[in-house]
């Protein structure tokens, strides 16, 4: 039954993507060359080659470590455990979770087939179309060696169901199929050869069964589609792979009206037709785990790809990051491009005679900012970044960066935006320090100010932190850059950076070896004790309050130090789209 895939197999699949269990097969039941050309989405789980690959890979070895058991149990409980409001009969026990997890040792394919033809919104008489919503989901599972376990899982689901569905046998494509009729849905289920197949539409079931049997091998496949061929360099390998094709605009919305509102003009204005697909895969490459993804299409100006900046060779914020930083993340958006897109869509939302409404919104924003919106956005470079220098991940050591141009104008804009939230401002050399209250405002009688945040404004950057001492330390390091080594000088950082294009719009680095895992655990537990809920807990002296998760109290933090070393990722934009690449070891 399809309920099996959604209520048991899919949550466990999330576990398996983390754990990388040893599968029985190196291929998914349905590969793109076997899929219908109408396939709009698929996720294929292929698995790793064997226990040696798991032992060599840092993430898989972490998952398998006996000291990681408390985290494994917590993740399994959250992903698979039944909601609290369900009866004990409906909940999965720990033993059942462990038993059903073995189902995911085999490969599977989850996908969605779009409708063969677009359904109209209304019939000839103007009455709404009475046809039920299309459900093109399908699930194919290789049940080799798991036949008995799969049957027990199906029986278990039937036993705990709140309402008994209407079951009947039908023949589809020459195969005996179980039709499961519920109040609001129909599911088709078959155990055909070595496969278990589920679908939400009869025609989809027939399509999938035919392709598994090779009866439609000569017809067009997803692998022949333009969107798939464009993304193929990012597909075809890995223990996990996914592909989402963005539908044509005519399949996203019709020209019909909802009152005076038309959907199609908004989609045209947003140029969604320029986005073709989202795809990616995860592979184990020795000790490293490699994650690659991309949004592909025509990345010309005036398309949704304007969200991302073209990038730069080195983020301005990188010059502030010391060599001993634990983590650093930088990204760059194209604010003018985003603003232009919003304006186009806003204009398309109004009829021609009401175009002034879009201009009115712009005028209101200008009044609030004290300058035209385009000018305000022009003061921002689009760069935003953060770094952490504390081995225990102390939030007071977290620093945020926002790139700016024209410091005087940027300060003027900040005074306008934050207005009565600014509690103090002073200049020290060429740096302006501002203290902002995130709770309460000046001039409001009887309202105190609290939750203060500190900003330091330089010629090209706004720095933010909870404590002003943290900002002073960062500024001091940059002032002595000639004698204080920065993260950019670390050989390992340089080696990873050299593998990617010159201009990047995203960059991150995390050195797990610099984390004091015991101190991090102690700090998390201490913060949990200080929380308002924890203060009301009548716990013994040595007990961890209920606000701290059980796994945190039980975990040996050194398990992370044994297996995790570094993580680095980048993103970049080119004429084909936006790309992400990450390594974890």
**pLDDT tens digits along 262-316:** 677 888 888 999 999 999 999 988 999 999 999 999 999 999 999 999 999 999 9
∠ CA 48-10-555, rounded to 5°? 70
Lowest mean pLDDT among 334-348, 438-452, 534-548, 553-567: 534-548
Mean pLDDT along residues 359-383: 87
Instruction: Please give the helix or strand (H or E) that residue 580 lies within, else none.
Output: strand 577-584
Report the C-alpha gap between 232 and 294 in whole angstroms. Answer: 11
Mean pLDDT along residues 220-232: 93
Whether residue 444 is found in the same domain as residue 544: no
Domain end residue (candidates: 257, 285, 319): 257
How would you classify residue 417: left for phi > 0, otherwise alpha for psi between -120 and 50, otherwise beta? Answer: alpha
The 3-state DSSP class for residue 280 equals: strand
Encoding tokens for residue 16? 């398996």
Report the C-alpha gap between 375 and 301 in whole angstroms. Answer: 20
Residues 6+ apart with CB under 8 A from 445: none
Mean pLDDT along residues 357-372: 80
Q: Is the pLDDT of residue 5 over 80?
A: no
Whether residue 239 is found in the same domain as residue 340: no
Q: Is the pLDDT of residue 546 over 60?
A: no
CB atoms under 10 Å from CB of 517, counted, come to 20
Query: Can you give the pLDDT at residue 216?
Result: 76
Mean pLDDT along residues 568-584: 95
Whether residue 323 is found in the same domain as residue 364: yes
Read off φ and ψ for residue 574, nearest 5 degrees: -140, -170
Whether residue 440 is found in the same domain as residue 339: yes
Q: Which residue has the higher pLDDT, 26 or 487?
A: 487
Give the residue from 254, 252, 136, 229 showing the smallest Cα distance to 186.
136
Strand partners, 566: 511
Residue 276 lies in a domain: no
The beta-strand segments (E) located in 182-255 are 186-192, 195-199, 240-245
Whether residue 548 is found in the same domain as residue 464: no
Encoding tokens for residue 531? 């929380």
Annotate 168-188 with DSSP letters as a single string: EEEEETTEEEEEEE-SS-EEE
Whether residue 328 is found in the same domain as residue 364: yes
Q: Is the pLDDT of residue 75 over 90?
A: no
Q: Is the pLDDT of residue 7 over 70?
A: no
Residue 277 lies in a domain: no
Q: What is the mean pLDDT of the chain?
A: 82
Domain end residue (candidates: 201, 236, 257): 257
Tokens 């930088």: give the residue: 330
Whether residue 223 is found in the same domain as residue 205: yes
In this structure, are residues 557 and 520 in contact, taking their beta carbons and an 8 Å threshold? yes
Annotate 436-498 with DSSP letters as a single string: EEEE--TT-TT---EEEEEEEE-SSEEEEESSHHHHHHHHHHHHTTTTS-BGGG-HHHHHHHT
Whether residue 524 is found in the same domain as residue 400: no
Domain end residue (candidates: 257, 290, 306): 257
pTM across the whole model? 0.84
Annotate 397-427 with DSSP letters as a single string: GEEEEEEES-HHHHHHHHHHHHGGGEEEEEE
Encoding tokens for residue 145? 């060696």
Q: Is the pLDDT of residue 38 over 60?
A: yes
How would you classify residue 422: left for phi > 0, otherwise alpha for psi between -120 and 50, otherwise beta? Answer: beta
Encoding tokens for residue 494? 């340089």
Whether residue 460 is found in the same domain as residue 536: no
Domain span holding position 525: 517-554
Whether residue 501 is found in the same domain as residue 528: no
Lowest mean pLDDT among 170-184, 261-275, 455-469: 261-275
Whether residue 578 is found in the same domain as residue 543: no
Strand partners, 402: 384, 462
Whether residue 228 is found in the same domain as residue 351: no
In this structure, are residues 31 and 70 in contact, taking their beta carbons and an 8 Å threshold? no
Encoding tokens for residue 479? 């002032």
In this structure, are residues 142 and 25 in contact, taking their beta carbons and an 8 Å threshold? yes
Q: Is the pLDDT of residue 218 over 80?
A: no
Q: How many domains does the chain have?
A: 3
Mean pLDDT along residues 340-357: 79
Residue 273 lies in a domain: no
Read off φ and ψ for residue 133, nearest 5 degrees: -65, 145
Confidence at 195, pLDDT banded by 50, 70, 90: very high
Mean pLDDT along residues 144-154: 86
Confidence at 48, pLDDT banded by 50, 70, 90: low
Residue 398 lies in a domain: yes
């Amino acid at each position: 039954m399809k309920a099996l895939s959604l209520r048991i197999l899919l949550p466990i699949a999330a576990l398996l993507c983390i754990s990388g269990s040893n599968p029985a097969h190196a291929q998914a039941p349905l590969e793109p060359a076997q899929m219908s050309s109408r396939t709009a989405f698929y996720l294929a789980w292929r698995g790793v080659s064997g226990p040696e690959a798991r032992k060599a890979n840092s993430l898989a070895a972490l998952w398998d470590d006996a000291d990681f058991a408390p985290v494994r149990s917590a993740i399994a409980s959250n992903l698979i455990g039944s909601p609290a409001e369900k009866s004990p009969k409906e909940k999965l026990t720990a033993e059942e979770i462990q038993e059903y997890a073995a189902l995911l040792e085999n490969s599977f394919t989850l996908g969605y087939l779009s409708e063969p033809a677009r359904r109209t919104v209304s019939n000839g008489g103007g009455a709404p179309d009475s046809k039920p919503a299309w459900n093109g989901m399908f699930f194919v599972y290789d049940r080799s060696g798991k036949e008995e376990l799969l049957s027990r899982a199906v029986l278990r689901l039937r036993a705990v169901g709140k309402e008994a569905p209407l079951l009947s046998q039908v023949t589809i494509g020459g195969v005996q199929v179980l039709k499961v009729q519920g109040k609001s849905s129909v599911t088709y289920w078959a155990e055909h050869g070595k496969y278990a197949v589920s679908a939400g539409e009869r025609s989809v079931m027939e399509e999938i069964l035919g392709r598994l049997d090779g009866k439609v091998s000569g017809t067009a496949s997803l692998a022949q589609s333009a969107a798939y061929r464009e993304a193929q360099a990012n597909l075809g390998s890995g223990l996990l792979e996914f592909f989402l094709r963005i539908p044509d605009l005519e399949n996203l919305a019709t020209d019909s009206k909802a009152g005076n509102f038309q959907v199609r003009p908004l989609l045209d204005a947003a140029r969604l037709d320029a986005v073709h697909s989202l795809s990616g895969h995860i592979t184990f490459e020795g000790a490293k785990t490699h994650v690659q993804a991309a949004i592909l299409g025509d990345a010309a100006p005036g398309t949704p790809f304007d969200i991302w900046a073209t990038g730069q060779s080195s983020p301005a914020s990188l010059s502030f990051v010391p060599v001993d930083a634990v983590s650093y993340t930088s990204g760059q958006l194209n604010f003018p491009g985003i603003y232009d897109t919003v304006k186009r869509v806003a204009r398309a939302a109004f009829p021609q005679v009401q175009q002034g409404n879009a201009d009115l919104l712009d005028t209101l924003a200008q009044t609030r900012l004290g300058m035209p919106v385009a000018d305000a956005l022009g003061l921002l470079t689009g760069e935003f970044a953060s770094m952490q220098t504390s081995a225990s991940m102390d939030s007071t050591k977290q620093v945020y960066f926002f790139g700016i141009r024209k410091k005087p104008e940027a300060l003027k804009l900040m005074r306008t935006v934050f207005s009565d939230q600014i509690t103090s401002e002073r200049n020290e050399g060429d740096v302006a320090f501002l203290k902002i209250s995130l709770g309460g405002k000046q001039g409001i009688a009887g309202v105190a100010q609290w939750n203060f945040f500190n900003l330091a404004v330089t010629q090209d950057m706004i720095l933010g932190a909870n404590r002003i001492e943290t900002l002073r330390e960062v500024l001091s390091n940059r002032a002595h850059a000639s004698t204080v080594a920065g993260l950019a000088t670390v050989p390992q950082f340089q080696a990873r950076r050299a593998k990617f294009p010159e201009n990047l719009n995203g960059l991150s680095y995390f050195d797990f070896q610099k984390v004091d895992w015991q101190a991090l655990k102690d700090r998390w537990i201490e913060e949990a004790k200080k929380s308002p809920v924890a203060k009301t807990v009548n716990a013994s002296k040595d007990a961890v309050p209920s606000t701290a998760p059980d796994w945190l109290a039980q975990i040996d933090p050194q398990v992370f130090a044994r297996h995790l070393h570094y993580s680095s990722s980048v993103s970049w934009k080119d004429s084909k789209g936006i790309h992400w690449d990450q390594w974890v070891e």
